[in-house]
Amino acid sequence: MAAVYKFKPYNVGRWVIWSLFALVLLLAPLVFTSNLSTTMLAQMGIAIIACLSYNILLGQGGMLSFGHAVYTGLGSYLAIHALNAVSAGKWHIPVSLLPIVGGIAGMCFAVLLGWVTTRKSGTPFAMITLGVAELVFAMSLMFSEFFGGEAGVSGNRVAGEAFFGITFGPQIQVYYLIAAYTFVCVALMYAFTQTPLGRILNAVRDNPERVEFIGYNTQRVRYIAFIIAGFFAGIAGGLGALNFEIVTAEVVGAGRSGAYLLFTFLGGATFFFGPIIGAILMVIAFVLLSELTKAWLLYLGLIFLFMVMYAPGGIASLIMMNLRVAKFGKLRQIWTSYLGLGLTAFVMLAGAGAMIEMVYHLQLNSALGDTVKFMGATLNAKGLDSWFGCAFVMFTGLGLFELCRRQYMIEWGDIQTEIEKEIKRRETAV
Amino acid sequence: MSTTYALELKDVRKNFGKTEIIRGVNLAVEPGERVAVIGPNGAGKSTLFNLIRARFGPTSGDILLNGQRIQHKTPYEINRMGLARSFQITNIFPKLSVFENLRCAVLWSLGYKYTFFKFLSGLKDANERADQLLEMIRLDKKRDVLAVNLTYAEQRALEIGVTIAGGADVILLDEPTAGMSKSETSRFIHLIKEVTVGKTLLTVEHDMGVVFGLADKIAVVVYGEVIAFDTPEAVRANAKVQEAYLGSSVADSQAGGH
């Protein structure tokens, strides 16, 4: 499994990829035109910056932080206070630069708190971040002048002078502001991975002891990386403040920190683009899945569990592994297996999902009667036949899935050995 | 003091609790010398090595690198002063490619420090040096392979490459050929000799073939003291050394005998 970090230098592919990325950011709101989708797209942009900044710690530096929301959240707070200062006529900076205020705030807090946090690595690091996160959250309840108490701090982004008629009143204008920031931040964070410090950070992740013996102070490396991550996190927070026009204490909460960790991991921490996938999924889960079912957190937890166990490289590594297979022209051999896996998994999950929905219905909505609608079918949550049917569907799916999986594993193994042989052959041919 | 030694130990002592492990070691290595430290098991070779590379400080005495005291300094400070070391257990960056391993190891010595305002691909000197090292350790064909996917012997070679990359003039090698086959070992000694030309070398080794093949001088450590420090021939002829080795090999065979 080749974890190739960089695209090859000077290749055309890089220009194509970055142009495509810009194009997607530009055209997305023209394709998805509804109000909901514009809101979601804006949130995705913010989440992409936040998750990528988190991955500077997790994926690139091997620092498992449980408190990244501290830096996005404090960035949000400083940005919304700055916005209110602009509204009140006290400050004269354009609204479009407020995310930078958030970024600087995030950076300053990272300078302050990171100095403590990055003294240690590994488990102590994780625990200290957890402690710092709890500390900041506790303070958010104590200092209501700054944190706004339960109600939070609200603002109005239509402030200061309009610039060429851009007031940031309409959501679409905010989207394009976020998109511009997203593009620049993603580019900068990618650039960071290609610098000496970025590479030494990888080395610190891999083997801190050895890094000390090639002349580097690992603490310093972690600290600087932490500050950089804090800066980008703060920008994400500042954009969030502009987008929602309200900042409440939950933005520095453990839930938010957990979400960054979870979705960065889900997307894939070992590849630069992994957290982008994770961020998109995060918004989809939080906005759509939470509307669709009350059990969404349960599903999320289950997905996370399975990913940690079976695909620790996240979605990005699954994609890259299959790209490798495709590159050697062998994807055709297993796509039927994928079809089988997909279908049987769908059957299994449909059965399991129906039962979960019935349990939730009984626990939460039983006053509304016993019937549950699930994927077009009407089930009786108290009827034995419904339960029996669902269990039957699930176990049938499970059995067939297991058969498919075994077949698939054999094929996958064969293909990998073929590829290894092919690589050896090419090596000797050179 | 008229000459400056590359590495000098002056009456170095180390206690662990009440147990005295190193009992007043004096050792002076001239620049450009290759010195092998040998001794029976438990004689304190590893402790001595750990003292030099500042894993822990000595209880008393001085350790000088090019005339400067290095005890109680951090590993990276010592590295910047010109001492590099390899590890007995392969200690490289597994998820980075061979080339990246070497490039990381040259960055500090070329003055790039913690910079993040330059692209790696633009650092001509670092890239050339890394490619040059790749050829020196004969891994140029494995340039883009992840270090974790190398064979054991290749990893050992990379270990040496990472050690010498920074251009340090004093090199510590901790059992460089541990775990290698006979043929690999002889090729590897050749490689070590080649890449450390003109450098001061200090190595701990069990394999006597390696010791006599590599070293200009041999230091024999027994019970925390250097009992002999001389050319290989003189050491071989030394009565105290023979006694210590014979005695301990008898003791070893008794202890390990079935």
Q: What is the DSSP string of A200-260?
A: HHHHHHH-HHHHHTTT--HHHHHHHHHHHHHHHHHHHHHHHHHHHSEE-GGGGSHHHHHHH
Dist CA A288 CA A295 (whole Å): 12
With CA atoms as reference, report the closest residue to A423 among B138, B141, B140, B139: B141
H/E stretch holding B44 reads none
Q: Are residues A301 and A380 in the same domain?
A: no
In a domain, A2, yes or no: no
Q: Are residues A63 and A206 in the same domain?
A: yes
CA–chain centroid gap for A72, Å, is 13
Collapsing DSSP states into helix, strand and coil, what is residue B63? strand
pLDDT at position A335, please?
87
Where among A294, A315, A336 does a domain terminate?
A315
A287 against B247, higher pLDDT = A287
pLDDT at position A1, please?
37
Q: pTM for the full model?
A: 0.90
Interface test with B, best of A7, A60, A207, A214 (most B CBs within 10 A): A214
With CA atoms as reference, report the closest residue to B200 among B77, B66, B100, B99: B66
Residue type, B74: T
**Other Cβ atoms within 10 Å of B239 Cβ, number:** 8
Dist CA A45 CA A182 (whole Å): 6
pLDDT at position B248, please?
54
ipTM > 0.85?
yes
Q: Average model confidence (pLDDT) for chain B?
A: 86
Residues of chain B with C-beta less than 8 angstroms from the C-beta of A197: 114-116
Q: Are residues A103 and A156 in the same domain?
A: yes
Chain B residues bordering chain A (beta-carbon distance below 8 Å): 53, 74-76, 79-80, 84-85, 87, 91-96, 100, 103-105, 107-109, 112-121, 123, 126, 141, 146, 162-163, 165-166
Q: If you write DSSP's letter for every residue of A290-332 in order, what string do you get?
A: HHH-TTHHHHHHHHHHHHHHH-TTHHHHHHHHHHHHHHTT-HH
pLDDT at position A253, please?
92
Q: Which of A208-222, B76-90, B92-106, B125-139 has the lowest mean pLDDT?
A: B76-90
B104/A228 CB distance under 8 A: no
Place of tokens 């998820």: B95
In a domain, A1, yes or no: no
> How many residues are given for chain A?
430
A196/B87 CB distance under 8 A: no
With CA atoms as reference, report the closest residue to A208 among A271, A115, A117, A121: A121
Distance from the Cα of B236 to chain A's closest Cα (Å) equals 34
Where among A315, A338, A357 does a domain terminate?
A315
Q: Are residues A172 and A127 in the same domain?
A: yes
Q: Are residues A349 and A307 in the same domain?
A: no
Q: Are residues A286 and A347 in the same domain?
A: no
Q: What percent of chain B has pLDDT over 70?
A: 93
Beta carbons within 8 Å of A68's beta carbon, 6+ residues apart = A50, A53, A54, A57, A129, A229, A233, A257, A260, A261
A216/B162 CB distance under 8 A: no
In a domain, A321, yes or no: no
In a domain, A184, yes or no: yes
Interface test with B, best of A213, A231, A420, A427 (most B CBs within 10 A): A213
Residue A47 contacts residue A279 (beta carbons within 8 Å):
yes
In a domain, A320, yes or no: no
Distance from the Cα of A379 to chain B's closest Cα (Å) equals 51
pLDDT at position A273, please?
95
A195/B117 CB distance under 8 A: yes
pLDDT at position B99, please?
95
Q: Are residues A401 and A282 in the same domain?
A: no
pLDDT at position A10, please?
56
In a domain, A409, yes or no: yes
A210/B109 CB distance under 8 A: no
Q: If you write DSSP's letter for every residue of B183-208 in order, what string do you get?
A: HHHHHHHHHHHHHTTTSEEEEE-S-H
In a domain, A258, yes or no: yes
Q: Are residues A286 and A201 in the same domain?
A: yes
With CA atoms as reference, report the closest residue to A125 among A206, A203, A53, A65: A65
Q: What's the farthest any 2 CA atoms get from each other in chain A?
A: 73
Chain A residues bordering chain B (beta-carbon distance below 8 Å): 2-3, 9, 191-192, 194-200, 202-203, 205-207, 209-217, 220-221, 224, 228, 427, 430
Shortest CA distance from B104: residue in chain A = A200
Residue B171 contacts residue B164 (beta carbons within 8 Å):
yes
For A365, the domain range is: 328-429
pLDDT at position B16, please?
85
Q: Are residues A111 and A217 in the same domain?
A: yes
Q: Are residues A359 and A384 in the same domain?
A: yes
Domain count, chain A: 2
Q: What would the pLDDT profile of A284-336 be if each residue is shown by its tens digit?
A: 999 999 888 888 999 999 999 989 888 889 999 999 999 999 988 888 888 88
The domain spanning residue A250 has which CATH number?
Answer: 1.10.3470
Q: Which residues does chain A have with pLDDT short of 70?
A: 1-11, 430
A209 closest CB neighbour out of B91, B103, B118: B91
**Other Cβ atoms within 10 Å of B54 Cβ, number:** 22
Tell me the domains of chain B and their CATH numbers.
1-77+198-258 (3.40.50.300), 83-167 (3.40.50.300)
Say whether pLDDT at B258 is over 50. Answer: no
Q: Are residues A307 and A233 in the same domain?
A: yes
Q: Are residues A308 and A334 in the same domain?
A: no
In a domain, A4, yes or no: no
Where among A315, A341, A371 does a domain terminate?
A315
Residue A189 contacts residue A107 (beta carbons within 8 Å):
no
Dist CA B211 CA A312 (whole Å): 45
